[in-house]
Structures are given as C-alpha cells and as structure tokens.
Amino acid sequence: MAIKVHGSLLSTATMRVLACLEEKELDYEFIPVNLRAGEPKKEPFLSLNPFGQVPVLEDGDLKLFESRAITTYIAYTYAKNGTPLISQDPKKMAMVFVWMEVEAQRYENAAAKLTWELCIKPITGRATDDAVVEEYEAKLATVLDVYEDRLANSKYLGGDCFTLADFHHLPTLNYLMGTKIKALFDSRIHVNTWCADILARPAWKKAFAMKDNK
Amino acid sequence: MAIKVHGSLLSTATMRVLACLEEKELDYEFIPVNLRAGEPKKEPFLSLNPFGQVPVLEDGDLKLFESRAITTYIAYTYAKNGTPLISQDPKKMAMVFVWMEVEAQRYENAAAKLTWELCIKPITGRATDDAVVEEYEAKLATVLDVYEDRLANSKYLGGDCFTLADFHHLPTLNYLMGTKIKALFDSRIHVNTWCADILARPAWKKAFAMKDNK
C-alpha cells in the first residue's frame, strides 16, 4: 500500500514531509486537505490528528502526525532509499539531533512567526504587524550568528553531510527568501552558501513545484 | 572518562538530563553553572554551547547541548542500561517520536511559560503576570484534553511503556504540581493517573533530591 500524505501545499509542515519523501525517492499519494474550509478541525481529520493540523502520514496501518516526527520516521525506516538524511554513527547522529533541536526550538520560533507575518497574512488579506516583524527579525539574527560560526567549521549544521538538521529549515527558508528577511541570510557568507546549497536540492524543487502544478 | 553535566538545578532542562542519567543508572559528574552570575553567557561556557544556555553534556570528546538531543543520545547510546526509554521497534518508536514532538512543540510552550510566571519569577523576586498565566492556562488545557483521550487508550503517551515521550514532561510537571495549575491535571482522570505514575519514578525523585542536598 502506498504512503499517503494528508496536507496542504500552503503548509510549511506539509512541504517538509513531501520534500522528505522526494529525498528518499519514495512513491506517495498526496491527499489535499482544505484549510480554508476548516477541514483539519473536523472529523474525519481529527481522528488522524487530534490537534487538528496538517500533515498526517499513513504508511500501512501506521498513522503519524507532527512533521518532524514523520521525517524522522521516514529517515530511519527507509534508511537505504535516496538521501540518507541521518547518520548511522551514534556520535555523528548525536550532533544531528542537537541541530535538529536548534532548528525546532530556536530557528523555527522566529522563522515561522516571520513567515506568518510577511507571507501568509498578505496572501490571506491580513495586515502585517511591523512590530512583531522587528522583534522576530532580531531573534532570527541572533540564531543566524550562531549558524554562521557553525557553518564556518562544518559544511552542514549536523556535520559533513546534508541531514534532517539542514533539511527541516527548507519550507520557511524558501518563504523568507521572497521577503526582506533574505538580507539576514545574504549578509552572512557561510549561511548564504548553505542556503543556496540546500535550496537547490532537486527533491526540494520537485516538492515545491507541486504548488505551481496545482 | 565519566560523563559530565554542566548545568543548574534551577533549570528544568538540566533536571531533564540529570534524571535521564539516573534512569539509565549511569555515573556522572555534575558541574554547577552559576546562572545569576551570568556564567552561561561568558567563556568558557559559550564554547560548550554558543546559545549560552545550560545544560551541556560531555561524554568523552563529545560535547552536546539542547536537553532533548542529550536525552535522545543517552537513550540510544546506552540502550542496554537501566530503563529503555526508547523502543527498538521502528513503528513503536515512530509513535514515541510523535509524542516527543507534541511535548516539545505544544506542551512545553505552555508549561514553560506557566513555570516561569508561577514558579521562577516569584523565586527571583519578580511579579507574576496574571494575564499571561490565564492565556497559557487555556493553551495547556487544550493540550491536556488531547492527552486525556490518548491516555484513555494507552498507558503512556508513546505507547505501552514509559519512554522519552513521557519522561521529557517531568521537570515542568513537577514545578506545576506546586501551583494552581495542578487542578488542570487533577481534573482529568487518565492524565492524573499518568502524572502520579511518572512523578513517582525513583530516578526522578533521586535527581530532584539533589536540589535539597545542595
């Protein structure tokens, strides 16, 4: 039975899962969920995710939510397919987990807020709150200063190879590249090189192109 | 060489790591870091964690920060010691990862804010902001409603066994049990049973007792 992804192409979390399946060269069926109609907050979706948010992955009888848990499951379960995304060396994997946490707890906190204010609100006809943008721009800059130091000594955040630690950044990074926040990434030489590298990955381009083909 | 933990017993993230080492019955050296003196924001600590926060774990030449990355490393590397905390079954481990994400992204968001307002601010002579408490109390209640449904059908959040998914809650849960927020846990029968179970774990009690012995 093919893997199924219930989600929305507007959702950064859904894009994270779709791009992961592309990196692993796995076949899947995409089942669109209508966010504007409030479908995630109603049955039958709530039985898939009681928090009422996309995406949900079905792999046989297994039903998973939380995008980073899904990508971790895919990376471990389909370790031999496509791009590894994890390390089999426990010490190297420990560093991948460290930078996965940094993304989830520090980068995402600022990046998601900025994506919401500068990208999603304008799309949905709401006004951007400039004070919020200023606050989270400063927070993101602090995180990127640490990234700049790390990437001066390591090709990728998790180590020498592209892993989930880098990969998880892609959906919000892609959105922010279309805003004034791009300057924060461009002005840091190692961050800039890293961004160009990971945004150019064919799997990401393929997942992102689904938006245009819809 | 023994495992070293640089941290503070006031820090919930440090307590998470110490209790994990107790669950795994591992020897370790605790190296206190003085938060009030701003030690985490200065060298030599910044070389251990560029974000300037406790805890940091040293295991031989490996230096790790981010408490949940540290516990995940310990659980995988010392899988055969003490309490397993992870599952060797990929599908069962997928569910553990789902509920680890729920804790980190949803529970912690509310619980950490409430712990700060109701526990840490009073200790450090600052006034609690009642409006913030009200806002995050409502958010925590929504998360606990989902927990109540989950725990009606599963002894622990991640499945049949106690894992990192439950374990990661302990430090803030312990703080909140001493506040009016306890009522949110007490009023949900399955959540209440789960709380009593995990708070009674000898490893947690041993780590927590370090505060009294200091």
- For the segment B2-42, what is each residue's pLDDT rounded down to a tens digit? 899 999 999 999 999 999 999 999 999 999 999 999 999 99
To the nearest whole Å, the CA of B15 is away from the closest chain A CA by 17
**B44: pLDDT strictly greater than 70:** yes
In contact, B163 and B84? CB cutoff 8 Å: yes
- Confidence at residue A1, expressed as pLDDT on a 0 to 100 scale: 62
With a cut of 50, list the residues of chain A below it in pLDDT.
none
pLDDT at residue B7, rounded to an integer? 98
pLDDT at residue B1, as a whole number: 62
Identify the pLDDT of residue B123.
Answer: 87
pLDDT at A124: 85
Q: Which residues contact A135 (CB under 8 A, 6 or more apart)?
A: none
Please give the helix or strand (H or E) that residue A118 lies within, else none.
Answer: none
Q: What is the mean pLDDT of residues B88-105?
A: 96
Question: CB contact, 8 Å: B79 with chain A?
Answer: no
Residue pair A56/A64 in contact by the 8 Å Cβ criterion: yes
Distance from the Cα of residue B38 to its chain's centroid? 22
pLDDT at B214: 60
CA distance B200 to B210: 16
In Å, how far are B54, B184, B194 from A151, measured between CA atoms? 22, 44, 42
**What's the CA gap between A59 and A159, in Å, rounded?**
30
Q: How far apart are CA A52 and CA A66, in angstroms?
A: 11
Which of B68, B76, B101 is nearest residue A90 as measured by Cβ atoms? Answer: B76
What pLDDT is attached to residue A90? 92
Bridge-based pairing state of the strands A3-7 and A28-32 = parallel
**What whole-number distance in Å separates Cα of residue A197 and Cα of residue A160?**
13
CB B172 within 8 A of CB B12: yes
pLDDT at B161: 97
Reported pTM: 0.96
The minimum CA-CA distance between B90 and chain A, rounded to whole Å, is: 7
pLDDT of residue B124: 85
> pLDDT above 90 covers what percent of chain B?
93
Asked if the model's pLDDT at residue B212 lies above 80, the reply is no
**Can you tell me whether residue A65 is helix, strand or coil?**
strand
What number of C-beta contacts closer than 8 Å exist between A and B? Answer: 71
A94 to A156, A210, B65: CA distances (angstroms): 14, 33, 10
Q: Quote the CA–CA distance of B127 and B99 in Å, as a whole number.
A: 33
Q: CB–CB of A54/A2 below 8 Å?
A: no
Task: Give B-chain residues touching A50 at CB under 8 angstroms.
Answer: 146, 149-150
- Using the Cβ of A100 and the Cβ atoms of chain B, whether some distance falls under 8 Å is answered with yes
Residue B87 has pLDDT above 90, yes or no: yes
- CA nearest neighbour of B48 among B27, B62, B69, B36: B62
Could you tell me the CA-to-CA distances from A139 to A102, A108, B33, B75 in Å, in that order? Answer: 13, 11, 24, 31
What is the spatial distance between Cα A52 and Cα A39, in angstroms, rounded to a whole number?
A: 8
* % pLDDT > 70, chain B: 99
Q: Quick one: tokens of B5?
A: 């933990």
Rounded to an integer, what distance in angstroms lies between the CA atom of residue B57 and that of residue B60?
10
Distance CA B20, CA B204 (A): 8
**C-alpha span between B200 and B195 (Å, rounded):** 8
Tokens linked to B94: 């997928």
Interface test with B, best of A93, A101, A102 (most B CBs within 10 A): A101
Average pLDDT, chain B: 96
Write b or e for each residue in B119-156: b if 16 or more Cβ atoms lie within 10 A of its Cβ, otherwise e.
Answer: bbeeeeeeebeeeebeebbebbeebbebbbebbeeeeb
B106 touching A (Cβ < 8 Å): yes
ipTM of the predicted structure?
Answer: 0.95
Interchain pair B69, A100: CB under 8 A = yes
Report strand pairing: A3-7 vs A56-59. antiparallel
B82: alpha, beta or left, given left = phi > 0 and alpha = psi -120 to 50?
left
pLDDT at site A156? 98
Neighbours of A84 (CB within 10 A): 17
